[in-house]
């Protein structure tokens, strides 16, 4: 077994009220049995976080937010800060998702500020990279390996039903890991998990997870239904 614990994350994007999100979490709690050798994360909308955190109490499923601001507080209408997310029980925050870059004009510089703020307050980041390790992490001191997770998502594969071949994905992941060696060092780079994202489904997860540098998946559409996300989490080795 790899030194990197597989991480299976569901990004619910802008779906579900608090009650709907709790119903899905209850299904996942019932259906997922293999927690001992994998980490499971769900990322509901901000408004569902407190209810989902409550529903998850006592469960190993971890909570993530889908975005944050880089300041702790201040006059930033509509924004939510890392300490506020920690306060409602978030373990991870997804930053740098391509949908935020595309629709909300988020830049590498902003992603960089968010990563720095999260790491400074002791939070964990789940950084989503469009192509390769770019400006989002530049200039940051490399954190301990368990504080950062990288997700590689080819933009053309997100929500389209098209996935990279397992070989293409493996090649990209190996390339990212080489870049990580330059950013931190080989030992840490070998411990950092690199997730694949983009139309991951029950029928392609096993092949993806068999690749040596694919350490988990970030799942959008297929994480919205209990049975499909449960099957993804319980990928077959």
Give the footprint of ligand PGA on this chain (CB under 6 A).
Answer: 11, 153, 158-159, 197-200, 218-222
HSE (CB half, 13 Å, CA atoms) of 28? Answer: 30
| Smallest separation (angstroms) from ligand PGA to the CB of 148 | 17
Residue pair 91/124 in contact (Cβ under 8 Å)? The answer is yes
User: 171 burial class (0-12, 13-18, 19+ CB within 10 angstroms)?
Assistant: middle
Residue 22 CB, nearest distance to ligand PGA (Å)?
Answer: 21
Helices (H), 10-142: 18-31, 49-55, 82-87, 98-104, 108-120
| Cα(94)–Cα(170) distance, integer angstroms | 22
DSSP reduced 3-state for 193: strand
Instruction: Specify the residue, 16 or 184, whose C-beta has the smaller distance to ligand PGA.
Output: 16
- Cβ neighbours around 228 below 10 Å, total: 19
- Known catalytic residue at 97: yes
| Active site annotation includes 167 | no
Closer CB to ligand PGA, residue 148 or residue 184? Answer: 148
Min dist CB 195 to ligand PGA, Å, is 9
Query: Of 39, 69, 91, 97, which one is the catalytic site residue?
Result: 97
Nearest one of 227, 232, 209 to 31, comparing CA atoms: 227
Residue 236 beta carbon to ligand PGA: minimum distance, rounded to whole angstroms: 19
Q: Which is nearer to ligand PGA, 4 or 13 (CB)?
A: 13
Q: Pick the closer one to ligand PGA by CB: 133 or 200.
A: 200
- Cα 93 to Cα 226: distance, rounded to the nearest angstrom: 22
Catalytic sites, residue numbers? 97, 153
């Amino acid at each position: 077994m790899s030194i990197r614990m597989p991480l299976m994350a569901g990004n619910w994007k802008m779906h579900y009220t608090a009650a709907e999100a709790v119903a899905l979490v209850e299904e996942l709690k019932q259906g997922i049995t293999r927690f001992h050798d994998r980490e499971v994360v769900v990322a509901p909308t901000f408004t569902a976080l407190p209810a989902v955190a409550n529903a998850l109490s006592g469960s190993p499923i971890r909570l993530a937010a889908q975005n944050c601001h880089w300041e702790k507080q201040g006059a930033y209408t509509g924004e939510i800060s890392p300490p506020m997310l920690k306060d409602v029980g978030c373990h991870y925050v997804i930053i740098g998702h391509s949908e935020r870059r595309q629709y909300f004009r988020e830049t590498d510089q902003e992603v960089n500020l968010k990563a720095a703020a999260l790491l400074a307050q002791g939070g964990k980041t789940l950084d989503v990279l469009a192509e390769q390790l770019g400006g989002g992490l530049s200039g940051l001191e490399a954190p301990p390996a368990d504080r950062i997770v990288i997700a590689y998502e080819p933009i053309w594969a997100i929500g389209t039903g098209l996935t990279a071949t397992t070989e293409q994905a493996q090649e990209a992941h190996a390339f990212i890991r080489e870049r990580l060696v330059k950013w931190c060092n080989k030992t840490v780079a070998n411990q950092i998990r690199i997730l694949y994202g983009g139309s991951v489904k029950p029928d392609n997860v096993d092949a993806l997870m068999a690749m040596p540098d694919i350490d988990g998946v970030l799942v959008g559409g297929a994480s919205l239904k209990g049975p499909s996300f449960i099957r993804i989490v319980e990928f077959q080795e």
